[in-house]
Each structure stands twice: as structure tokens, then as C-alpha cells.
Structure 1
Amino acid sequence: MSFTKIIGGALALGAAAQAAYTIQDSYDTTNFFDGFDFFNEPDPTNGFVNYVSASEANALSLAGYANGGIYLGVDANTTNPPNGRSSVRISSKKTYSQGLIIADIAHQPAAVCGSWPAFWTVGPNWPAGGEIDIIEGVNMATNTTYTLHTSADCTFSQGDCNAPGTGSNGCPTLSNDVQTLADGFNAIGGGIFALEWTSSAINIFFFPRTGSIPQDIAAGSPDPSTWGSPQTSFSGSGCDIPSHFTDNQIVFDTTFCGDWAGKVWPYDPICSTKAATCQDYVAANPTAFKDSYWLINSVKVYSDATNGTATTRRRFHA
């Protein structure tokens, strides 16, 4: 893989589309790292991870440009790192309330015991501002889990999105498509995830690279009404979406163990045989994570004039 470290560039806006949705922000290899902040605080999900700053990521070649895309990797060299395995978590400087987010991704972190990668959005004062998990899975999982996390009084057919007292469990729905996550996704050269977020529904679509990407996406004029059924749809009278989801940042990260991958470790029939604990395995096996990287072609955010534009207030931490 040809790798180039982070370089500068001005944040650019794309041309207006000729459909209901018009381009608001386009993040690609010309400007990506100008539009995202690096999170280097302790992991809120208690992972065995050392999230590094932009300068550290640059020095360690954990973030940059490779193969025509944006590369976000993890440390696959250090044995027994004292503060957790080094990794990257980035959050968009802008926040969004409703709109259409289209992510063209060429590679996700591979399936490996101890890994917990995610592509998601999150609002302020979690879970009050809401969280939308688009790509997420742990250990050797083969299918992504779409999940919403909210404060109280938000229920869809998928369940109550607020866990009693904490909001941590959310309302998950497992994709039935093995091409949505990790090795199955990488085997087809990746694809496109689209989050359509309106006042009445949160819909998530997935289009494999192999011939099923709508032409209107490629043309920059996306029209979700022509795409058929989404992978999952959260809608109905049980949740007032505008009051539970607001000012969300776009986030990519890869953590290890923690509140999900670590918690289920003892019950995992494959991973539990490799080491006594998740942290033991992650610490002792750096080369297992050589393919634990994101390769992102672009992330584009569109607004819909009929439902109001996305919010663009800047925040710095999730």
C-alpha cells in the first residue's frame, strides 16, 4: 500500500445537486483532515486503547492518504503497550441535524478478536443529543449492527433506544448482509453506506461496490426515494426524532476490548480460546491487527431544503 502522511488543504464545498438533496460538505483526499479533529482523551467505552493526537498519528503513520483514500490505522507493531494499543478516533468539526450522509468506504478494519471498529454519529451531552451507529461490530462478527442511543422516551419497532438509567444498550438491529462488515465488506472492495435522517425517520442504506451503487449517487444528485428499501428504518410515533437527535458529529474509530468486545469475550467460542482476557490478547498480538484499518474514499453530507438544512455548528469533542 502506498502511504502518504497527512497534508494540508482547504475545506471545499461540492457543487449543488439537482435533486431534493444538495451538497453541503464533501470530505475527501483534498481536505479530509481539515474537516476532522483527532480525539486523544481516555476512551469513553473503557477500551484498551491509546487514542493519539494528529501529530502522533502522523509520526506513527496511523493516519494519512493511501491508495487514493483516507487511511486510519492502528499500531500493529508494539507488544504489551502499557496504555493500550495506539489507534485513531476522529470527529467532524461540523455537526449536523438531519440530512443525508453518504460514506464511500474501500476497506473496514478486518475481523479480529479484540477489535471494535465503528462509523457513527453522536450529539452533545450523550445520550441527550443521540447516537446513530452505522458500521459497528466486535471480534469476529460478520454483520454490522445498526443501533440508536437516546435519552428516555424514544421507542421504535427495534426497541427502546434508552437503556434504563444509562442509555447504553440502545435499540439495535442486526444486518442480514455479511457484506456490510469487516472481511465480507473488504472482499468485494467495499461499498457505500448512506444515512438519511429526517424529522420522521432514520434510514440506513448499503450498496456493495459490485454493481449496485445508484447512478444518482455517482452523479452527485442522490435521491433516496428511488433506492428501494433501506437496510433498516427507524420510524413511527414512539420517538420525536428532532428532540432526540441533534448536532451530531461524524465519527470513525477503532477501539479494543472495552464495554462490548471485552464484555462478550468470555462467551465468544473463538476468541475466548486465544487468551484469558481480551486485553491479554490485544496486548500480546500486535500483528493480528495489521489489517485493522479504515480506507475511506469520501464522506459527503447533503441537505434537504424541504426539511431544513443540516446544522453546521462546530464542536471539538464527542
Structure 2
Amino acid sequence: MPFQFEHLRTLTALVDEGTFEAAARALHVTPSAVSQRVRAMEQAVGKVLVRRTTPVATTPAGDVVLRHARQVLALDEDALGELGADEGDRLLPVAVNADSLSTWFLEALAVVTEELGVAFEVHREDEEHTTSLLRSGTVMAAVTSTPEAVQGCTVEGLGTLRYLVVCTPEFHDRHLGGRRDPGLLANSPMVTFDRRDDLQDRFLREALGLAPSGPRHYIPASQDFARAVHLGMGWGAVPEGQCRDALAAGELVHLAPDHPVEVRLYWQRWNLRSPALDRLTEVVRRHAAAGLHPL
């Protein structure tokens, strides 16, 4: 690729910082120097790489170059690390869905933080959309529900994250008349993670052949979502690990024991030889085996 190393570093800094001024401060150069380096890269490939918005955004061509830039920088940092010439903690960006982050993934990161001497930048994104961050070069690895490998990546199965459809006993009596009839859920208040969350709709559609018509609460944080269900705001599909104890204590009612909602999860990572990424993959694989059901 016809790019100088400093030009690649400049592109990543520009995308990470969001503006030419902020990138200049991070690189200790002038905004004009940042602009000139980006323009030189664009002239080299004959394509616009960066949209001059606030914050800046990469074009499809820019996504390709950004991914290349991050891979080159990662290999450079790996080499420096093996030579004992690190100048500080590396930043290793990964993407993961909120429920995995809350139930098993964070423990995997904690195991390797000191060992690898890296700092993690975690991008929380729905498992159906984390691959877009791989394509754009924003992250080096991702937990995803997509089994097809993104170009330039490898993929392996991690396991199945199981959700149980639950509500409080009070909600059960008030909205369902105390009956174990999941068909009544379509008209009952529902807790949903955000407007892209399809788990509850998927349960009604696939298990019961129904479409939801009741009110929805949008609670966009995994722990807060589970707490909203525990507080009786509505019914919801809660990760098994976040509701198992409450079910055993009688604080929640399992509405559809025969119909858990299952999400298959995969690990996609850049297809390059990197000791840090290899070790992270090894630990993620081990924690997934302990925290998820087999595929």
C-alpha cells in the first residue's frame, strides 16, 4: 500500500479523536499537517477517505485503509512489545454485545489486562451489528451473532447465550391473571433493550405465532434491563445468569420454560498473527465455554 507509516497513524488518530484539531493535539502537530497527510493518502489511492463532518467519518474506501492502518500499527506494537521497547499501554479495541459484557466477557478481559500490558477500548453494540465495526477497522475483534467471516477476519463459534422469559409474581397476577398462559404476553407491558432489540418480539413470533401489541419500556443497559423486569415494569427475556437466583427464590416467574430464547455467538478477529490478539482469543474461548451453552 502506498502509505507512509505516519500517514497511517494520522488516519487512525483522526478517526479516534473525531476532528482535525483533536487529532493534531494527540499527534503534537498542527491541524494543517493532519489535513496534508490525509490529502496525500487520498491522492495516492485516488479516492476520498474521510468525510469532513463533525465528527469525521470514513468513506467505504476509508474503511479499507483504516483497517489496514490499524493492522499495521498493531503489528508494529507487537514487535515493540517482543523487543521490550513498549512506550506505554497499547489500546486494543473490541466490540461486544451488552449482555455478554455483563455476564461473562468482562472477566475474560480482566484476566489478560496485566498479562498483555494492554488497555481495552470496548465498543458496546448489538451482536447483530458488531461486524460493521470490524469492517470499518474500528475494532480488532468482536463477539457477534454472524457466523460468516468478515473479509480479512477469522471466525469461530463461542456458544449460545440463553434468555428466559420472566416477570415478577405481582406482574403475573396483575396482567396475566395468575395464569401460565404466555399468549397473554402480547398485550402486556414489555421491557425492551432498545429499538433494535428483537428478542421479545422473536419469542412471541417464533414460540407463539403472535405479534406484540402492548406498551414497551426501553431500558438500554443490561443490568438495568434485568432490574426493570425485577421491579415489575414489564416482562422480558433476561439472560439466564441474571435471573437464575431470583427464579429459585420465587422473586420471578418463568413464563415459558419450554421456550428459552437462544442467541448463537461467534468470535471474529483480524486474520493476522498477533501475540496479544492470539492470547485474548484463547482466554475469550475459555470463558465462553464456562459462561455459555454449547452451540
TM-score class normalised by the smaller sequence:
under 0.3
Higher-Rg member (1/2): 2
Q: Greater strand percent: which structure? A: 1
- The TM-score, its normalising length taken from structure 2, stands at 0.25
Larger RCO (CA within 8 A; separation ≥ 6):
1
TM-score computed with the length of structure 1 as normaliser: 0.24
